[in-house]
Structure 1
Amino acid sequence: MANIKSAIKRTRSNEAKRVRNKYQHKTTRNAVRKLRATTDKKEATALYPEVVAMLDKLAKRNIIHKNKASNLKSKLALHVNSL
């Protein structure tokens, strides 16, 4: 355990950020799974912009790499267009 006051606070804030990042990442992964499982064109078209926004937000905050977000968006666009 840290002894310095600022290190204690840093530990607390890091834990809070870790939990928040984990929640956002898991939520986005579930949204991607839901979009991939969709077979209805209209529903997929409505869901696609929301998922893209989530991926962009994760990439902007360095939770996932920007190339990974780009790769996922590309694959999802191909899926939506193929329906």
Structure 2
Amino acid sequence: MANHLSSLKRIRQNHTRRLRNKYAYKSTKTAIKKLLIDKNKKQYSIVISMIDKLAKKNIIHVNKASRLKKKLSKKILIS
């Protein structure tokens, strides 16, 4: 266990940020699943925005965001 106050604070910050990132990622995954079921084009732009925000905050890699958006566009816009 850490002894310095700064390392204790860093542990608390990491925990809070991990939970925040996990919530954002999980809510995006849920939105993607709902989009694939409903195939609503209005919802599509919201999900794309959520994916872009995750990539901007480095929660997911930029290439993964690109792959997700490509996969969604194939399934939503073509059908």
What TM-score do you get using the length of structure 1 for normalisation? 0.90
The AA in structure 1 aligned to 2:52 is D
Map of 1:22 onto structure 2: 22
Deviations 1:27-83 (A, max 9, x none): 0000011111124xxxx1100110001000001111111111111111111111122
SS of 1:3's partner is coil
Identity of aligned residues (%): 48
Map of 2:38 onto structure 1: 38
Out of 61, 68, 71, which is 1:72 matched to? 68
In 2, the alpha carbon distance for the partners of 1:46 and 1:81 equals: 11
What CA RMSD, in Å, does the superposition of the two structures yield over aligned residues?
Answer: 0.9
What TM-score do you get using the length of structure 2 for normalisation? 0.94
In 2, the alpha carbon distance for the partners of 1:69 and 1:36 equals: 16
SS of 2:58's partner is coil
Structure 2 stretches lacking a partner, 5+ long: none
The AA in structure 1 aligned to 2:14 is N
